[in-house]
Every structure is written in C-alpha cells, then in structure tokens.
Amino acid sequence: MVYKNKKLVNFIFSGIIGLLLATSPSFAIENKLTKPVLIEKVQQSERDKRQYEVIELANKMRVLLVSDPKAVKSLASLALPVGSLQDPKDQQGLAHYTEHMVLMGSKKYPEPASFSQFLSRHAGSYNASTAAHRTAFYFEVENSAFNKALDYLADAISDPNLDPKFADKERNAVNAELTMARSNDGFRIGQVDSETINQNHPASQFSGGNLETLSDKENSKLQDALVNFHKDYYSANIMVGVMYSNQSINKLAKLAENNFGKIPNKNINIPIVDKPAITPNVLNKQISMVPAQPKKLLFLQFPIENNLAKFADKTDEYISYLISNSSHNTLSDQLQKQGLIEAISSSINPIRYGNSGIFSINVSLTDDGLAQKDKVIGAIFNYLQLIQKQGISDAYYEELKKVLALEFKYQDVERDMSYVEWLSDQMLLYPVQNILNSDFIATNFDKTAIASRLKSLTANNARIWVISPNQTTNKTAYFVDAPYKIDNITSEQKANWLALGKNFTFSLPELNPYIPDNFSIVKQNRAQAQPAGFSKRGNHLHFVSQYFKTEPKAAIVVSLRNNQAFSDAKAEVAFNLLDYIASRNLEQLRFQAGVAGISLSTNNDNGLMISASGFSQHLPKMVTAILNSYRNVTIDEQSLVLAKSWYLQELDKSEHAKSYWLAVNPVNELSDLPYFERDERRQITATMTINDVLTYRDNLLTHSVPYMLSLGNLSNEDSLDLYHSIQKTLVRDVEFTPVDNIQIKKSLEAKMAQYAKSTDNALMMSYIPTGYDRIASSMLSYTLSKIISPWFYDQLRTNEQLGYAVFAGPVTVGDSVGMSFIIQSNQYDPVYLFKRYQEFYPVILSKLKALSKEDIEQYKKAVLDELKMPPQTLDEEFSRYMADYRNSRFMFDSRHKKIEQLKKITKQDLVDFYNRSVMDKKGFVFASQVLGKREDNAKQPEAISEFTEFENVSALQNELLK
C-alpha cells in the first residue's frame, strides 16, 4: 500500500558476500552463563500463534526469539546501530567496508567461503547490509543446521580475522558494487542529496566507499581504521539479535546464550549524531538532476524531526494517506485525468539523517506534466491547503486505524531473510512491546501535530527535485557522475505556483467503500470437480487452499486468450497501449482496493489476464469491474498520446538497465514467442491510431476464450458464477490453441553484443544441452547450480575480483533448461571474462567428480526441502499454480514431477549433464555480451571472437525454431 511505504532504510548497500581459509582449532570464549533476563511481552496479532520473547543476555545483547513449530526454515539476524553516519571523514564508506570484511573469515572459521559453503549445503544463504544508521547481518538455513550456522555468524561478529590479505580484494568488491550502483537512480539521488545538505553533517559524506575513499592516507591507514572500527563499535551491549526457528523458546534462549552470548560487551554508548542535516540555507531550493534511466520525477521534500517515539500517533501517515488517495476529484485523480502525472505518493523517513528525517511527496510525471511542472507543484500546494483547512477529521483517522488493524490481524508475511532483517531494524527503533505492530497501531489522533506538520509543508521549507533527462546543469555529483544544479526558489516561482494552484478545485477523499466487514469462511464443497485437462473452449478451475483454510482471502486470475492477441508486433503494441489507458482509468479502484487489502493487476497471457487477490468479500465484483473498465474505456487523442509516450519510455528503459540485466535480457526474450524487436515496436507505436486500439480491444474482448483459476475462500459456485458471467460476454465458437514453447533440439553456438549506457561490461554464458526434457533439465540444472555457484563465486569474485555481480545459475529457454555463468565487471571485458570462465570450467568438473555420494545426497536434500517447503502466504500458494496455468498444463503436476525426478538424480547424471552442456557444448551455447561505454580516447572493451554472431533476438529465435 502506497501510504505506508515508510522506507526507513533508503540507501542500503547489500549483496551476497562470500568467504574462506585453513582451520585452526580455537576456543569459544567461556562466558559465565547466567540466566537470560526476559523483557516485556511483544504484542502480537490474535491470529498469530507463534511464541515471541525478547531476552537480554549477560553481555547485554537483546535477542528476539520466535518459536514457530511450523517454521519451514530457520532465520537469524544481528544488527548494531552503527552505520555510514559513523564513517570517519578520512575513510568514507568504512562501515560498509567493515560489514564486508567481518564476513571474510573468523578465528574459528578462517576460510572466507566456509560460511557460504556450509549454508549452500543446507538450503541456506546469508547477506548483510549497511545503512546510514545501522549495519545488519542475516541468514536463512534448514532447521537442522540452525545451531551450527549461528556459531558461524557469532564467531564472525566477535572474532573476525580482518585479514589484510583480503583487504585489497574487498576494497575492489566495494568499489565494484558502488560502480554498479551508478546506474541506480536512488543511489544517484542520494549522492546529490549528500552534496546539497549541511556539509558538516556525516550524511554529506560518500557513504558507500570506493578505492579512493577507502585507502591509506597520511594520517589514516585503512587497515588500522578497519580494526579500530570493529573494536570501537562491535559491542554486544548495543547489538540486537533475532532468532526464528521451529525449536522451543527455552532451546532458543539457550542457543542465544551459547552463540550471541560469546560476543564481547565493551560497554559502549550508542553513537549519536548531533549536527543538523537540514539547515535553513539548504531549504527553499530547487534541485535539477539528470537520471540514469529515462524517468521524469518530481519530489517535494520537507524536513521533519525524528519523531519515531510518537509512532503510535501516525501523524505523517495520516497526511500521506490523504495525499496518495485517488478517489474522485482528489489531487491524484485530477492530475491523472489532466494527463499530467502517472502516479503520486508520499513517503516518510524520520531517520533519513539519523537525527532528523524527511517527508516526501513523490510524483511520476508524464511528458505534459514535465512541461507543466509548475502547474503540478501549484496543485500540490493547493491540495495541502485544503487538507489543512478541512481535512483533519476523525472519520479519516478511524478509517486509517481500521485499515492498519486489519492488515496487522491478517498479515501476509513471508518469513525470510528480509523479514528478520526488518525485525532487527524494528528492535533498534521501537519499544519491545511494539516490535511487531509499530507500523499498524494508530492510537492517538493528534490534530495539533497534524496541523502543525501541514503548516510546515511550504515552498520556503522545501527542497524540490526535478529529475528528468535533458536538463541544464552545472555540477556533477561525485563518483556517480550525475549532472545536477541547485538553485534558490524565487519569489516569482512561488507566486506562480500560488496562481496556478488556484485553477484547481479539489475534493477531499471519499471514505473507502471496500474495507471488508465479512470475514466468514466459506464452506467448501469437497466434491469439487478436478480439472479434466485443457480445453480449447475454455476452463474454469477452482481449488481449495491446502494451507490457509481459515483465511478470509482468495486469489483469482481470469485470462481472455486469443491466438491473434500477440501474433504480430502491431498487436503487441496495441495490447500495451490499451492496457495502459484502461489501467489509468482503474486508478481509483486499484487504490481503494489496495487500502482495503486487495491487490489488482492486469497482465498479458496470450491475451488479457486480470489478477485479484486479498480479502474475498468484494473480490469477484472487482474482477468484473476491471473487465467493464476495459470494455468501456474512452480512447481519445489525449489518452493515446500519453500511452504512446509511456510505452516508448518503457522500451527505452530496457536499454538503460544495468549491464548485468542487459546481458540477461536476450535470453529471457528468446522464450517470448514470437519476439518483436524494440525498434520495430517503436516504429509501429508512432503509426498507431485510436481506431487501431479500439479494433484490437473489441476483438480481444469478444473473440477470446475464457480461462479462470481461483484459490481460497470462495465457493466453487461463486467462482463458477463469475466465470459464466464472463463467458456470456464472449462469442461462443472461438478456440484457443496453445503455442508450443521453444525446445533446444540442435547444437548452436551463438553470440550477441549490446552497448551499455553505463561503463560496466558484462558477459553471460548460457549452456543448454539437447536430449533432456523440461523436468529433467530443470532439476539437473537446479541441483548443479546449488553445488557450483559458491565455487564460481569464491574463485571469480572473492579470489580474482572480476566483478561484484558474479553468479552461476539455471537458465531457461522455453522448455529447456541449462547452466549460465554471468559477471558484470567494471574492469574486464568479455574476452577476458570468457577466458577465465573457460579456464575455470574444467576445475568445476574435477571438483564435481571429487564429491562424495554423501555430498550429493546433501545437496539433493537441500533442493528437495526447498521444493517441498509449504507456501507462507496464500499468494505464494497461488503462484505455484501459475507457471502451469500460463502454459496450459492444467494437470498442475510439474512440482510433483520435479520432486520425483530429483529423487532419481545420481552423481553421474550431474557429471554427464555438465559435460554435455558446458564441456562438450552439445546444445545451445549463447554468449550475451555487454560492452560498457568508454570516454573518447579510452581503450574500447573487446568482444569475443568465437561463435556465430546474431544481430538480434528475433534472428536467433528464428534459428532456434528451424
């Protein structure tokens, strides 16, 4: 939901960090084990049956224990309230660099890769992240390996080797990570922000670090700074931990003592920042900036105090709720209808600068909106006035309160690494009782505080950002090379905004009609018909949830499939234009549904696919409403122009992606049958008329075949009624024939090259063998990836530092699956990367051959556990049906077949598969290369000379189809 997107952690550097060295016997510090102290109760949802307790260990570390007998895997996190705000001026990025180095081998486990290798053998992985105000480390692992994994983490935190031998490597890793982030606009905006706030505040520094900032200087040696940073700040008394597992609370408490209890307590104080970030001289500013992606954004940002302690008031959330609301005649509704904006939202971060934060109104503009941005700004200030005068009402607060309470009560949470990362953030920021519910309680409607905040949202108090290509700028932000300029907002501008704002007469939001009040559970007819298989005339499929029978929620997809819907490029363009125009019209419904716990979306599935999930009470009628909106949408000159501009920007976006994604895209596009080149679609877009879109729409909404899948709290009858009502709107005698997916049936060695807008190179090598079916190739590739990826990462990233993004994993083209290897590098070109891949392939083979039978069984078990893991939310359960649904495999048995296949896999099968695909190249070999941009005179990156060159994806697709 938009109004709640309180991003506490804005710019996080995180990534998979790999590790490794020799074993030397060592001793755990024998802590005197006194009984941990239990602190207050954690408030939890009445429907949540897990047990939560917060204890304080003898070393003063607070640990949240979550005992969940149904936990499908175990999770842990450890965080400390120390982040980039504590970076010394002469070693900027030190907190981030320390986060990396801490995981590069410890006293008991000196091999940097030992933790990641242990985890990958036990269906797990770990990660870490550094934000302005904190650093966090977290992992997930199968339940049986939890105790050992905790020992790895605790040892890394208390006794990291911080070995200078790896220092240079990790400096490079940090530098590569930050270089990669240059194409991330959030990061670019963050850097421009730090250059334009009070330069005495630590948030003005370069928070991520690079080879320049993290280096030896006359008065500061990096290695000393690293060791001191760990010594000074990594103290148990300021740390928090989270442990989530299937074990009892008592066992978890014991585990916490035995592991986190070993971390030394240095009795330090939580570091505080005392300088103001936003001083009067950095306000009343307009900041213009050129983004990396072709986007058009407007932000109105206002400083706020750190008001976390008043979280239960929801003062800023209340304002945000009204700003984002898009019911009839609101700010959002009018700006949408005038074609000025794509979307408007608001976000709050009270600790953006540690000791203070920002309230931000975020607008995504259309071309027209950019040209008339003063009108948009005027409208926003006008609307803020209206809220101030008439919008502070009990009714809205009650609505907000109700919506938040419902969301908390029926929360859908996937308990994974980001969940425990979030929990440890919560522990650092909120009282123990409110760790779980701080975002969801609204118990004190403070009208005075709301009025006073609204009063402060003025131009004089603002930093207004205009982010779009082709602007005049006069500065370049450090390292990210983002062009920008900063000007005072003039009194003429302010007068102009006031005048332009007066042209609008807004209404305050309507109360939300969709908030559910019926949570009864439908009696399911156990004798419901099971699918008899795919029918060319349509199917209705309803399933009872196997896991969430007591949830008043359901999920529905309806597809109107049509063999002509994507048969040529013109049809594809028409679909996208229609979908955009109809979706704009649905903005109000989508917003109100979202607030009421229902998510709605449309997509393509051989035609139009409508998805709805959430509280079941109003669900079927929303599907009907979406369909009606498609049927009745007005397509005029203005909406067509908007749609074309949006679509062209979407096409451009894919060409501005980071090098890694540029390399991945072609292989994904190969599965898209038939694929039409972006250039062709651009040309066609220009020629599209209103009539083209209308004709396409009318055909799609009458001559398609209906397919529908539903799951959860709906009766089969209600679900079927919806299906029949849709069926009635369609011409009867139409048939739909699914198109066969691509299968790799012959050997082909192909390459493609693309030129990036950023400086990084990338190479993705894919190897998909012939001779295996969909299920077998997928299970072999998946299991192989589990085994190989830590090796590949350890060698090419940790040891050789070829790049920051380094992965080996499965790759799919149509119905065939194989192995892929990919690196994005800011130093090496594809020729060198390819050479290193090729030299490493035989090493992988011999390591593979050297694995014992037990090793293989362990990896198979890890994959099997993942496949058998029950879903954590109804949406996840639903998504398990979706791949088969989209491919018209209506027996829905792919997962079952995969499990059976996996059980049969032997070591020899894995070796054979690797040999056939990678070593002997019997199948499709594809080199997808990305060549980074160079300055005029710099040496151009080299492309590899092997393989047959293909000009584009469609040419390659045609060859594969022959």
CB of 911 to Zn ion, least distance (A): 35
CB 515 within 8 A of CB 402: yes
- Nearest Cα to 605, choosing from 567, 573, 565? 565
CB of 100 to Zn ion, least distance (A): 6
Q: What six digits make up the tokens of 708? A: 């529908």
Say which DSSP state 513 is in: T
Q: Which stretch binds Zn ion (CB under 5 A): 176-184, 431-439, 655-663, 939-947?
A: 176-184
Give the residue with the Cβ less far from Zn ion, 15 or 391.
15
CB of 14 to Zn ion, least distance (A): 6
- Contact string (CB under 5 A) for Zn ion, positions 897-936, x = contact: ----------------------------------------
Q: Which stretch binds Zn ion (CB under 5 A): 85-93, 175-183, 677-685, 865-873?
A: 175-183
- Nearest Cα to 726, choosing from 711, 710, 704? 704
Give the residue with the Cβ less far from Zn ion, 177 or 333.
177
Which residue of this chain has its Cβ atom nearest to Zn ion in the complex? 13
Q: What six digits make up the tokens of 911? A: 């070796």
CB 583 within 8 A of CB 633: no
CB of 233 to Zn ion, least distance (A): 17
Give the residue with the Cβ less far from Zn ion, 17 or 240.
17
Give the residue with the Cβ less far from Zn ion, 19 or 701.
19
- Nearest Cα to 87, choosing from 205, 173, 189? 205
CB of 880 to Zn ion, least distance (A): 33
CB 270 within 8 A of CB 135: no
Catalytic member of 53, 56, 99, 717: 99
Is residue 840 at the binding interface for Zn ion, with CB under 5 A as the rule?
no
- Nearest Cα to 915, choosing from 903, 923, 905, 927? 923
Which of helix, strand or coil describes residue 674? coil
Q: Which stretch binds Zn ion (CB under 5 A): 6-14, 35-43, 640-648, 777-785?
A: 6-14
How do strand 20-21 and strand 13-15 relate by DSSP bridges? unpaired
CA angle 386, 392, 393 (to 5 degrees): 125
Q: Residues 15 to 34: which contact Zn ion by CB under 5 A?
A: 15
Give the residue with the Cβ less far from Zn ion, 13 or 841.
13
Q: Does the bond joining 674 to the residue before it have cis omega, within 30 degrees of 0?
A: yes
CA atoms of 558 and 709, how far apart (whole Å):
7
Locate all alpha helices (DSSP H) within 523-599, ordered by sequence: 569-585, 587-595
Give the residue with the Cβ less far from Zn ion, 234 or 440.
234
CA atoms of 905 and 715, how far apart (whole Å):
41
CB of 170 to Zn ion, least distance (A): 9
Locate all alpha helices (DSSP H) within 103-196, ordered by sequence: 114-121, 146-158, 164-180, 185-196
Q: Which stretch binds Zn ion (CB under 5 A): 9-17, 424-432, 533-541, 944-952?
A: 9-17
Which of helix, strand or coil describes residue 524? coil
CB of 15 to Zn ion, least distance (A): 5
Q: Residues 585 to 624: which contact Zn ion by CB under 5 A?
A: none
Place of tokens 């293989």: 856
305 to 350, 448, 456, 554, 565: CA distances (angstroms): 6, 15, 12, 41, 53
CB of 919 to Zn ion, least distance (A): 34
- Nearest Cα to 928, choosing from 825, 851, 820, 827? 820
Place of tokens 């207004």: 464
In the chain, % helix, strand, coil (3-state, to 5) comes to: 45, 20, 40
CB 519 within 8 A of CB 46: no
Say which DSSP state 915 is in: I
Among 3, 11, 13, 118, binds Zn ion (CB under 5 A): 13
CB of 453 to Zn ion, least distance (A): 35
Give the residue with the Cβ less far from Zn ion, 194 or 259.
194
CB of 17 to Zn ion, least distance (A): 7
* DSSP H or E run through 322: helix 315-324
Give the residue with the Cβ less far from Zn ion, 134 or 314.
134
CB of 129 to Zn ion, least distance (A): 8
Give the residue with the Cβ less far from Zn ion, 173 or 931.
173
CA atoms of 795 and 800, how far apart (whole Å):
6
How do strand 539-543 and strand 705-712 relate by DSSP bridges? parallel
Q: What six digits make up the tokens of 324? A: 């984002």
> Is 99 known to be catalytic?
yes
Largest CA distance in the chain: 82
Q: Which stretch binds Zn ion (CB under 5 A): 11-19, 112-120, 193-201, 277-285?
A: 11-19
- Contact string (CB under 5 A) for Zn ion, positions 130-169, x = contact: ----------------------------------------
Number of amino acids touching Zn ion (CB under 5 A):
3
Locate all alpha helices (DSSP H) within 410-537, ordered by sequence: 417-429, 447-456, 491-501
Give the residue with the Cβ less far from Zn ion, 13 or 234.
13
CB of 309 to Zn ion, least distance (A): 31
How do strand 285-289 and strand 483-488 relate by DSSP bridges? antiparallel
Give the residue with the Cβ less far from Zn ion, 98 or 616.
98
Q: Which stretch binds Zn ion (CB under 5 A): 80-88, 172-180, 820-828, 945-953?
A: 172-180
Q: Which stretch binds Zn ion (CB under 5 A): 143-151, 171-179, 576-584, 687-695?
A: 171-179
CB of 618 to Zn ion, least distance (A): 44
CA atoms of 785 and 860, how far apart (whole Å):
11
Q: Residues 436 to 495: which contact Zn ion by CB under 5 A?
A: none
Give the residue with the Cβ less far from Zn ion, 112 or 516.
112
CB 307 within 8 A of CB 350: yes
CA atoms of 784 and 499, how far apart (whole Å):
65
CA atoms of 845 and 837, how far apart (whole Å):
12
Q: Residues 848 to 907: which contact Zn ion by CB under 5 A?
A: none
Q: Which stretch binds Zn ion (CB under 5 A): 7-15, 580-588, 769-777, 852-860?
A: 7-15
- Nearest Cα to 833, choosing from 795, 783, 864, 871? 795
Q: What six digits make up the tokens of 849? A: 């051959």
CB 305 within 8 A of CB 456: no
Q: Which stretch binds Zn ion (CB under 5 A): 13-21, 413-421, 565-573, 929-937?
A: 13-21
CB 758 within 8 A of CB 933: yes
| Cβ-Cβ contacts under 8 Å for 238 (sequence gap 6 or more) | 80, 81, 82, 268, 269, 270
Give the residue with the Cβ less far from Zn ion, 418 or 496.
418
**Interface ranges with Zn ion (CB under 5 A):** 13, 15, 177
Catalytic residues: 99
